[in-house]
Amino acid sequence: MTSAGRRLPGLQPLDMQEWLIQDEVFAAQMALRDQLLLERRAEVFHGPSVADAAAEELLALLLAHLGDGYSPGADKVTRPDGVTVDLRADHPLLTAGRLVQEDFCILQRPDGADEHVLTAAVLCFPASWTLAEKIGRPLTGVHEPVVEYSPDMARRVERLFAHLQPDRPMWRANALRYRDPSLFHPRSEDAPHHFGYGETSYLRSERQSMVKLPKSGAAVFSIHTWVVLWATLSLDQQDGLDSYLAETAGQGT
């Protein structure tokens, strides 16, 4: 709702001390993440060998930025909800997804390619898209079928990732209204999207961060998701967000 945030893409500098967010629903979200990664692993995780070095580097960076309430050890970390995660029991990207509320997408630009490609991800809370349809695709393909993702917008986004620097991470936020409050909300590209309105609708908002890994050169796109009942927002918040949503309608924000 700030002036900087309303101007798409609404990028702002990121303080790495604020990269990972631990909010009041940490325990509930982490329990859901553990369940999804155990029971629906193929739908929420993809970690090919081409992204192994980036995944290892991401996990190391994440461990260096864990917030209050964590108890780290040599090979294990106990989360604030009391769950202990073995750091060597699984793929480092999946392990990262079990430690914090954020989802992580790894983007790499192959030699000779025109765009960054989504090569790996741990995505427990997709907002109306599926990892299976997007993995392995360049940024233009990842954003299909967003009508407003024009060739000019595609060039701007690619420039952003191409010029991202390890010491200059960025973040932005989006907001959409949903009828369904489910955090795990996959949707095929061909399926209709029903936005919710009225007293039973919800606000779904993502804080999206872009961090460049210095060793592998990969870009990490992380997502922290909130879903709140629209009726619990103040009238000023509702009015401001309605205005924002009207301005950004159809732009895949």
Nearest to 75 by CA among 88, 62, 63: 88
189 CB-near residues (< 8 Å, 6+ apart): 129, 133, 144, 145
The full length of the chain comes to 253
Is a pLDDT exceeding 80 seen at residue 135? Answer: yes
* pLDDT tens for each residue of 52-111: 999 999 999 999 999 999 999 999 999 999 999 999 999 999 999 999 999 999 999 998
DSSP letter assigned to residue 191: S
pLDDT at 253: 47
Span 37-48, average pLDDT? 97
**% of the chain residues with pLDDT over 70:** 87
Q: Over range 122-149, report the average pLDDT.
A: 84
The model's pLDDT over 163-200, given as tens digits with 9 standing for 90+, comes to: 999 999 999 999 989 999 999 999 988 876 655 566 67
Whether 217 shows a pLDDT value over 80: the answer reads yes
